[in-house]
Amino acid sequence: MPGVLPIDAIFLRDDALTLQGRLAAAIVRAILETRASPGVRLPSSRKLAQAMGISRMTVTLVYQDLVSQGYLEALPRSGIAIAATVPHRRVNVATTAGVRTLDWNEWLSDQALPRRVIRKPSNWREFRYPFIFGQADPTLFDHNAWRDCARRALGTRDFSELAADRYGADDPLLIDYICSNTLPRRGFHAQPDEVLVTLGAQNALFLATELLARVDRLAVTEEPGYPDFAETLRRARSPTTFLPVDSIGLDPAMLPANTRLIIITPSHHIPTGATMPLSRRRELLLRANETDALIIEDDYDFEMSYLAPPAPALKSLDGSGRVIYIGSFSKSLFPGLRIGYMVAPAPFIARARALRAIMLRHPPSHLQRITAYFLALGHYDAHIVRLRQTLKERRRVLEEAIAMTSLQIEGAATQGGSSMWLSARGTDSADLAARLQEKSVLIEPGAVFFEEPPSPCPVFRLGYASIAADLIPEGVTRIDRMARKMAQAD
């Protein structure tokens, strides 16, 4: 005869927002982990409620919900029992004896781990002074508007369309907004077959590099620069030249004569914030034409222009179709969104779409539609206005705080941005960052942005998008105090 599921097998965790959700998760977990057979009865609602110190009504509602989901069944005059239709029941399978352990190092011997990776503590929100780049401030986001857009996207009218497999096609509403609103703000237009939605700018970069980088094509990128540019080219085994960046970006006159691929951030250089002027952009396009090179333009941060209007995208000056433009909504909305886009001539986008299709088919349709609604209904523009106003104030506070210290500003976007490139003379920023964590301060050491970093490396990036303005002065003071202490010790 089937028994009763032990009450002590049911215990609550903080894995749901409501008590009802936590209890449901606890019962499902107990069913799966104890491998209880169908017919095993659950404790009565009264006994379980008493044992857990909760309302009997809560237990009753949870039981009813799990019956509707197929985990439990109501037995006539016998209470509640585990159903034979329990989803995802575990299966015991004995492993084959005598088989040697697989040597993964042998299989992956030619796949080197990335050398340059930006890392930040997973618990960065627990630090009081998190000067971290690229993280969203949840207080600036209109959660109600996003929920409304999600309800629209998941409603009956849209569901049949979003539930279908698009076979590589993107959401037409999102593509339409990008073509009619986003790109004209950057000074150019594109047709729908010239735009591809990607899982963030990083996915676009990978697709473009995968299609274009070759062992016989010299690639050029910035030094210092975004580490993922270097790592993506390294993975493609592309010969790469790293050109130094001055106060107005990469100098086209330094491009080698055999350059075939150029990857740059001309509007807000990573990490210095340098903005390439129009004269240098035109010169870069002329040099690319001379060497028959293609340019990948990462325009990740153009919305963060609050001190001056953003400069037109390099793509807007491109008359020959040499520029592949990459943009993203993840930086301006929130990084977990992972919705970006790539703009290029139709033949290239067709190849990129085919490559994307064998990787992931297409980014999730419902996320594309939610984003499209958020953009089309005006919520995005309102969000950008709030974001720019807030970042402008935080930058003012940050500049005033830095002016009172020994720290030096080595680079900052003249149009705005959300980070600064600083140096603390006489220190190594990696050591400085490690010591500051003990003071609840997070900064980003600069060595990761260099292919060949200076030693010691005194520069570091200071982001101000995720720290409140009133915390900035004390955070900067702690950085300066630690930097002075380290410099005096040397």
Identify the pLDDT of residue 92.
62
Identify the pLDDT of residue 384.
94
Identify the pLDDT of residue 93.
61
Give the residue ranges of the chain where pLDDT is below 70.
Answer: 1, 88-97
* pTM greater than 0.75 (yes/no): yes
Checking DSSP bridges between strand 294-298 and strand 259-264, what pairing results, if any? parallel
Residue-wise pLDDT tens digits, 30-77:
888 877 888 899 999 999 999 989 999 999 999 999 999 989 999 887
Identify the pLDDT of residue 95.
65
Identify the pLDDT of residue 89.
60
Residue-wise pLDDT tens digits, 155-194:
988 888 888 777 889 999 999 999 999 999 999 999 999 9
Identify the pLDDT of residue 100.
78
